[in-house]
Every structure is written in structure tokens, then in C-alpha cells.
Amino acid sequence: MNCFEEIRNCLDIRMVTERYGIEIKRNNTCLCPFHDDHHPSAHIYPNAFHCFTCNVHYDILGFVMELFGLSAIDAAKKLNDDFNLGISFDYEKEYHKPKYSEDAEIREIKRKKRERFEKWEHEAYQVIHDYWWLVKEWYETLKPPKMEFVPENYQFDERFIYALKHYSFAEEFSLDWIQQFSNEEKVEWKWVVDKMRRFLDEHKEEEKPQSTESPRTYIDISNTKSPNSIPVNW
């Protein structure tokens, strides 16, 4: 076990954020230190810090690296000192050594591939986030004032019906993306993200329909199952 793994085993993100002056609310939200935040837009998950406004997502080490502008090893040393963990760094050079030799061309290919994935991952989450907020907005603004007293012949707005069907799916998918999915699983769900993107492109300029408008049909993406594999050309 290297020092990074020892740090993660000893600490959790809540301990670290509170140690460095972040006030955590009862619902695990807080002000984000990475932008001018006046209303809590960040959430503390069991093993991660995520801001829904600036879309940053960090584990313990990543949070300290970004907060203080440190390298990974310096962030680990700071946590070790600030929390008196007593972790030895005598072997830090050992796991900084490459396990095998790579020529510059292979390293460059890997670097570019990693950058392309990170760029796609960021854009994909923005799509998921925007889709979730659109569904939420439709649900909250278009639902009847008193659902329990809706007349039998009441004509629901088609967008409210869509939001009613997709509300839970959109919320859970957004949370799973930042808490549960591995990089490989995110790639497997690319086809769902693409559907969300097309849906947003179609409806982002749409005005609220009047009650006299004819009903519209919206695509259903809630009944989704992850395929075994989806080839993606990064």
C-alpha cells in the first residue's frame, strides 16, 4: 500500500473539507471554494466533493491539490502533517518509478487519449446535468396546483407527463454518474448521453405550450439497459 492509499484509508472527504474551513450543512451541501459561491452549490458524498455549478469533482487528494495548488505527493504530505497520521514517505521515490519503459511516442498517445476522454466526460456530465434540470423544471412548473383535486377530464401538459415518467431516472442517473460509474461504465452509457443531448437540442428553445396546443410526443429514455460493450472511437 502506498502513501496515497494510506491517506484515503485514514481520512474521508468530510473530515478534510471541514479541516480546511468548509462548513457542511445538514443536507451535506456547502459553499464551493473554487468559484464565487453565495448559495451552497457543492455536495459532500462519502468519498468525493462535487460542485454542481462549476462541475468540479475531487477525492480527498484532488481536493487538497486544487485548494492549495499542490502536487499529489505534496498534498499527501500536507494531509499527513495536518492530521498527524504518521505515514512514512521514505519509499515515495519507489512508486514514482515507471514500472516499465515507454518511449515518448507511446506516452504522447496515452496523454492525448486521456485528455480526449476527460474532455468528453466533462461535456457528458454537463448534458446529464442540463437534462436533469430541464425535467425537474418541467415537473415543478407544469404540474397542476393541487394534484389530488385534478378533474377527471383535466388535460395535462405533455411535458409534465414526460417529466413525471423521467424524474427519478434523470436524478438517479446524474448521481450515479458522479458517485458510482467507472470510466468504462460511463463509456457504455454514452448512447444514453447522446439521446439526452439530442433531446436538449430539440427542446432548449421551446416555450411553454398553451393549453390549446395539440399534444406532443417525447422520446422515452428511462427504460435503458447497459449494453455489454459499445465501441467508442476517442
In a domain, 232, yes or no: no
Q: What does each C-alpha distance from 75 to 18, 31, 63, 202, 226 come to in angstroms?
A: 16, 22, 9, 44, 37
Reply yes or no on whether the pLDDT at 229 is more than 80.
no
Choosing from 65, 96, 127, the residue where a domain stops is 96
What rounded mean pLDDT belongs to the chain?
A: 79
Structural domains in the chain (count): 2
Reply yes or no on whether the pLDDT at 233 is more than 90.
no
In a domain, 213, yes or no: no
In a domain, 167, yes or no: yes
In a domain, 75, yes or no: yes
Among 3-12, 51-60, 145-154, the range scoring the smallest mean pLDDT is 145-154
How much is the average pLDDT of 141-151?
73
pLDDT bin (cut points 50, 70, 90) of residue 32 is very high
pLDDT bin (cut points 50, 70, 90) of residue 72 is confident
User: Which residues make beta-bridge pairs with 48?
Assistant: 45
User: Which residues make beta-bridge pairs with 198?
Assistant: none
Give the separation between CA 222 and CA 196, rounded to whole angstroms. 11
Clarify whether residues 121 and 69 are in a common domain.
no
Give the separation between CA 208 and CA 174, rounded to whole angstroms. 25
In a domain, 24, yes or no: yes
Clarify whether residues 10 and 88 are in a common domain.
yes
CATH number of the domain at 58, please.
Answer: 3.90.580.10
In a domain, 109, yes or no: yes
Clarify whether residues 132 and 188 are in a common domain.
yes
In a domain, 108, yes or no: yes
Best-predicted range by mean pLDDT among 87-101, 150-164, 171-185, 189-203? 189-203
Choosing from 80, 96, 112, the residue where a domain stops is 96
Burial environment of residue 21 by CB neighbours within 10 A (0 to 12, 13 to 18, 19 or more): exposed
> Residue 167 has what DSSP assignment?
H
Among 110-114, 204-208, 219-223, the range scoring the smallest mean pLDDT is 219-223
Clarify whether residues 90 and 145 are in a common domain.
no
Clarify whether residues 113 and 89 are in a common domain.
no
- Residue 71's domain comprises 3-96
Clarify whether residues 59 and 145 are in a common domain.
no
Clarify whether residues 161 and 108 are in a common domain.
yes
